[in-house]
């Protein structure tokens, strides 16, 4: 499936099941997404002695993080495929193919290495995004939009790499998580 199709699916999901966030201002929405990314960094900081449990938690965190990255990209009106093509010089169309292309240089052998790597990557990006959002509160001279765009694309690329490294089927992972969230809604 193409990234733009995933973005469209996320947009419809947000309209139907996250109206509380979908209907707030763009800065407030982006602040909400930055808080989510920070929460996921916290999840990634946990240690697991069991490979199966670690992989389950990683996949849950990947699904949630990708969903938020798609929502953030939609808020910023970013075409993620074009952004990834421009930033990483890849020509792939589908999300899985893009993930494979991005993953050419990473030598992680197991879920523990993927978790440690992703923790560090997401912590750096979430921290930079938090700093940008805080600068709005102080009206500091900073190109907030540029930072939010760069880090949203960086986070998504890192998530795609981790998904590919774990051998996780991206579309299935997202469909299952979207369905789970939608079934929990009473409306």
- Tell me the pLDDT tens digit for each residue of 58-81: 999 999 999 999 999 999 999 999
Please tell me the total count of domains within the chain: 1
Whether 88 and 102 have beta carbons less than 8 Å apart is answered as yes
Where does the pLDDT of residue 179 fall: very low under 50, low under 70, confident under 90, or very high at 90 and above? very high
Global pTM value: 0.94
Give the count of beta carbons closer than 10 Å to the beta carbon of residue 68: 23
User: Which residues have a Cβ under 8 Å from the Cβ of 136 and sit 6 or more positions away?
Assistant: 27, 144
- Under DSSP, is residue 76 helix (H, G, I), strand (E, B) or coil? coil
Where does the pLDDT of residue 144 fall: very low under 50, low under 70, confident under 90, or very high at 90 and above? very high
Lowest mean pLDDT among 75-89, 91-105, 108-122: 91-105
Output the six-digit token pair for 113: 């290495």
Residue range 30-40, pLDDT digits in tens: 999 999 999 99
Question: 14 lies in which domain range?
Answer: 3-184
- For residue 107, the model assigns a pLDDT of 80
* HSE-up of residue 60 (Cα within 13 Å, Cβ side): 12
């Amino acid at each position: 499936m193409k990234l733009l199709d995933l973005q469209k699916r996320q947009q419809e999901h947000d309209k139907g099941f996250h109206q509380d966030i979908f209907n707030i201002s763009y800065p407030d929405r982006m602040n909400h997404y930055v808080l989510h990314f920070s929460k996921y960094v916290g999840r990634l900081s946990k240690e697991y002695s069991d490979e199966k449990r670690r992989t389950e938690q990683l996949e849950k965190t990947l699904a949630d993080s990708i969903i938020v990255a798609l929502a953030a990209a939609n808020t910023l009106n970013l075409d993620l495929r074009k952004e990834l093509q421009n930033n990483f010089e890849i020509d792939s169309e589908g999300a899985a193919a893009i993930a494979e292309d991005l993953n050419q240089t990473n030598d992680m052998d197991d879920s523990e290495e993927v978790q440690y790597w992703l923790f560090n990557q997401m912590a750096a990006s979430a921290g930079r995004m938090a700093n940008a959002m805080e600068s709005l509160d102080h009206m500091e001279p900073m190109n907030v939009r540029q930072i939010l765009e760069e880090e949203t694309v960086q986070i998504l690329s890192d998530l795609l790499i981790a998904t590919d490294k774990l051998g996780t089927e991206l579309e299935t992972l997202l469909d299952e998580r979207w369905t789970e969230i939608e079934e929990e809604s009473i409306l």
